[in-house]
């Protein structure tokens, strides 16, 4: 019984460390994306939804490579996994866009801050979806 508990504790710790790495990469990617968003929105006076979309495409691409290599320690990159990553992040994009529109149009939160707050809603489901895509042995 003690061995079983020890094994589960070790496995839980490993998953927790993986989730922490996912968040470190996500937070870094997020802040870099926000800088680019502010440059496009405030500096170049681009529409906030277009700026958010451009930044999202760049961020998704970086996320696939960084999470594959550093979060999930999986170097088996494939075009299929890359495309599925876009589907995961399209889900996140739609969810975040809904939250942004709600915050801006209903809650009167600033167009500058709304995109910074929206990812709080999507982090956990995206972690599990990305883990499934990247670690799925059937996807090559």
Least confidently predicted of 1-10, 21-30, 93-102, 111-120: 1-10
Please provide the average confidence, as pLDDT, over all residues in the chain.
87
Show Cβ contacts of residue 97 under 8 Å, excluding neighbours closer than 6 positions: 49, 52, 118
Coil, helix or strand at residue 102: helix
How do residues 5-38 score in pLDDT, each as one tens digit? Answer: 455 666 777 888 998 999 999 889 988 998 999 9
How do residues 47-74 score in pLDDT, each as one tens digit? Answer: 998 998 899 889 989 999 999 999 999 8
Instruction: Report pLDDT for 37.
Output: 92
Show Cβ contacts of residue 81 under 8 Å, excluding neighbours closer than 6 positions: 64, 68, 133, 134, 136, 139
* Torsion 77-75-95-54 (CA) sign: negative
**Max CA-CA distance within the chain?**
63
Instruction: Report pLDDT for 3.
Output: 52
**9 vs 24: CA distance, rounded Å:** 22
Q: What is the dihedral of CA 29, 30, 32, 33, to 10 degrees?
A: 110
Coil, helix or strand at residue 41: helix
Which secondary structure element, helix H or strand E, spans residue 134, and what is its range? helix 119-135
Instruction: Report pLDDT for 90.
Output: 87
DSSP secondary structure code for residue 112 in this structure: T
């Amino acid at each position: 019984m003690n061995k079983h508990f020890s094994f589960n504790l070790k496995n839980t710790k490993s998953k927790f460390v993986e989730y922490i790495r996912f968040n470190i990469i996500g937070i870094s990617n997020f802040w870099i994306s926000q800088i680019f968003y502010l440059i496009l929105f405030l500096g170049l006076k681009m529409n906030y939804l277009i700026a958010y979309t451009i930044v999202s495409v760049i961020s998704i691409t970086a996320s696939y490579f960084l999470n594959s290599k550093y979060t999930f320690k999986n170097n088996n990159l494939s075009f299929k996994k890359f495309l599925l990553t876009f589907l995961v992040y399209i889900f996140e994009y739609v969810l975040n866009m809904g939250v942004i529109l709600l915050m801006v149009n209903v809650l009167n939160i600033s167009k500058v801050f709304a995109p910074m707050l929206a990812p709080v809603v999507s982090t956990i489901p995206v972690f599990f979806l990305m883990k499934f895509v990247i670690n799925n042995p059937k996807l090559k």
